[in-house]
């Protein structure tokens, strides 16, 4: 499947759903995070980029005040009155929504837009996607950003990209009940061709930084381990709690306010596990800053060691890697990758490897062979380039 295939599927699904004329088609990408993991909810720095894989939302207006969402991933469309959204959401933390979970993403976006004051008539939304789901490539932000872009235009809400990213996060946090940061939505909303988004998660200031992989003859390989991170909510919450505890023990608002020089003191005032969680966040923030500087001064070929150090920190200090991700990283590096790390929230999902374009086959073969030798399920391996963010397509 390709983004063009998803577009065709969304239009077909809409035609099945509604006799009304198509009002428009919007799409938004998934993302990989080049570096900066779990730093977003610590008000730190991240450097994600949007990928070519997209979620597409095709829309038709209705002449009542109801919203209906359908996805090629789900058997049944879900329909509610717009005013009913306010009773459906927010869900109490951990409670399952009174709609199928997938529908809480687009309906949660409609709810969050209404909470922000947007009003508009009823709408049918048909959704299709070629973003791998649950692979750590943020199919969730893609569906949120595509829906938010569509409804923003259809309802004339006039929100800018950053505001729409916040709407998507609010939907995910409060309607779905997943305690995620703002990185994914910002990457999906703000992505640019051949650039990564350097995001300060405290101020939400974002800057496009040229990655230059194409000019340098490099590629980013994505290795989807197919280890599902669906049950990782517990681990994610635990890591967040450790970070909050660490910040409190250091007397700061968030770990953003701690730097590497403070680590010696941190080690004295907290238990070993909390300290290692804190050390990951503090050093990871520094690695993001170093990566941005290195990209600007020396280009993408020079960032490999930073990616490798990031992976080691996630594996040893933050403890969010799994053996399949470690195998992906180690086998890619052994086959000549310039750098590699797991990407996304961890506990499964995907790893990325920065490789020479002409090494794609060799690295792919090496990773597959290593997975087979370990008895792991066959990974899906593909390349990505930094791509455009959310947009209206039609």
d(CA 173, CA 236): 13
Residue window 86-105: x/- pattern of binding to ligand ADP, with contact defined by CB under 6 A:
---------------xx--x
Residue window 115-154: x/- pattern of binding to ligand ADP, with contact defined by CB under 6 A:
------------x-x---xxxxxxxx--x-----------
Task: Enumerate the β-bridge partners of residue 219.
Answer: 355
**Side-chain half-sphere exposure of 93, counting CA atoms within 13 A:** 5
Residue 343 interacting with Mg ion (CB under 5 A) = no
Span near ligand ADP by CB under 6 A; candidates 16-24, 68-76, 90-98, 289-297: 68-76
Strand-strand pairing, 66-71 and 123-129: parallel
Q: Quickly count: other Cβ atoms within 10 Å of residue 96's Cβ.
A: 12
Residue window 244-283: x/- pattern of binding to ligand ADP, with contact defined by CB under 6 A:
----------------------------------------
Q: Is the Cβ of residue 250 or residue 314 nearer to ligand ADP in the bound state?
A: 314
Element (H, E) at 235: helix 233-250
**53, 130 in Cβ contact below 8 A?**
yes
Residue 73 interacting with ligand ADP (CB under 6 A) = yes
111 binds, among Mg ion, ligand ADP, none (CB under 5 to 8 A by kind): none
Residue number with the smallest Cβ distance to Mg ion: 140
CA 185 to chain centroid, in Å, comes to 7
- The distance of closest approach from Cβ of residue 178 to ligand ADP in the complex, given in angstroms and rounded to an integer, is 6
Catalytic residue among 9, 40, 130, 184: 184
The DSSP letter of residue 378 is: P
**Side-chain half-sphere exposure of 306, counting CA atoms within 13 A:** 23
Query: What does each C-alpha distance from 392 to 26, 125, 243, 350, 385 come to in angstroms?
Result: 4, 14, 38, 28, 20
d(CA 264, CA 226): 38
- The distance of closest approach from Cβ of residue 131 to ligand ADP in the complex, given in angstroms and rounded to an integer, is 6
Query: What does each C-alpha distance from 229 to 135, 236, 345 come to in angstroms?
Result: 7, 10, 8
129 binds, among Mg ion, ligand ADP, none (CB under 5 to 8 A by kind): ligand ADP
Q: Is the Cβ of residue 169 or residue 256 nearer to Mg ion in the bound state?
A: 169
Cα distance between the two ends of the chain: 20
- The distance of closest approach from Cβ of residue 127 to ligand ADP in the complex, given in angstroms and rounded to an integer, is 5
Residue 24 three-state SS: strand
Residue 321 interacting with Mg ion (CB under 5 A) = no
Task: Enumerate the β-bridge partners of residue 123.
Answer: 61, 67
Among this protein's residues, is 394 annotated catalytic?
no
Residue 322 three-state SS: coil
Span near Mg ion by CB under 5 A; candidates 13-21, 133-141, 211-219, 243-251: 133-141
Q: Is the Cβ of residue 140 or residue 254 nearer to Mg ion in the bound state?
A: 140
The DSSP letter of residue 172 is: I
Residue 39 interacting with ligand ADP (CB under 6 A) = no
Instruction: Write down how long the chain is.
Output: 394
225 binds, among Mg ion, ligand ADP, none (CB under 5 to 8 A by kind): none
**Token pair 């597959």: residue:** 368
Span near ligand ADP by CB under 6 A; candidates 66-74, 278-286, 314-322, 352-360: 66-74
Site for Mg ion in 138-177 (CB under 5 A): 138, 140
Residues that bind Mg ion (CB under 5 A): 138, 140
The residues that touch ligand ADP, with contacts defined as CB under 6 A, are 55, 71, 73-74, 101-102, 105, 127, 129, 133-140, 143
Q: Which residues are catalytic?
A: 184
């Amino acid at each position: 499947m390709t983004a063009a295939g998803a577009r065709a599927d969304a239009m077909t699904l809409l035609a099945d759903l509604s006799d009304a004329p198509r009002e428009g088609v919007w799409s938004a990408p998934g993302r990989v995070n080049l570096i900066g993991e779990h730093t977003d909810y610590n008000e730190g720095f991240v450097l994600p980029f949007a990928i070519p894989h997209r979620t597409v939302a095709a829309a038709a207006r209705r002449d009542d005040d109801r919203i209906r969402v359908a996805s090629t991933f789900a058997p049944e469309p879900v329909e509610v009155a717009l005013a009913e959204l306010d009773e459906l959401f927010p869900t109490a933390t951990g409670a399952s929504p009174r709609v199928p979970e997938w529908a809480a993403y687009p309906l949660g976006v409609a709810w969050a837009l209404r909470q922000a004051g947007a009003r508009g008539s009823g709408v049918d939304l048909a959704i299709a996607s070629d973003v791998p789901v649950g692979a750590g490539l943020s199919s969730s932000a893609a569906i949120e950003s595509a829906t938010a872009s569509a409804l923003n235009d259809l309802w004339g809400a006039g929100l800018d990209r950053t505001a729409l990213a916040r709407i998507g996060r609010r939907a995910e946090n409060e309607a779905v009940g997943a305690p995620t940061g703002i990185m994914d939505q910002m990457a999906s909303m703000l992505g640019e061709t051949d650039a990564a988004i350097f995001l300060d998660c405290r101020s939400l200031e974002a800057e496009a930084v040229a990655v230059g992989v194409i000019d340098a003859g490099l590629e980013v390989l994505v290795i989807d381990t197919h280890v599902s991170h669906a049950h990782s909510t517990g681990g994610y919450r635990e890591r967040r709690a450790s970070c909050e505890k660490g910040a409190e023990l250091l007397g700061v608002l968030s770990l953003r306010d701690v730097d590497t020089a403070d680590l010696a003191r941190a080690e004295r005032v907290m238990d070993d596990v909390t300290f290692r969680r804190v050390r990951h966040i503090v050093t990871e923030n520094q690695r993001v800053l170093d990566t941005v500087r290195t990209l600007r001064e020396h280009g993408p070929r020079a960032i490999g060691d930073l990616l490798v150090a990031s992976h080691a920190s996630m594996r040893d200090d933050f403890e969010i890697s799994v053996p399949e991700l470690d195998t992906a990283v180690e086998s890619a590096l052994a086959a000549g990758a310039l750098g590699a790390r797991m990407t996304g929230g961890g506990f499964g999902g995907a790893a990325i490897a920065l490789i020479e374009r002409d090494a794609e086959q060799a690295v792919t073969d090496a990773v597959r062979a290593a997975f087979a030798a370990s008895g792991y399920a066959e990974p899906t391996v593909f390349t990505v380039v930094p791509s455009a963010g959310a947009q209206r397509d039609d």
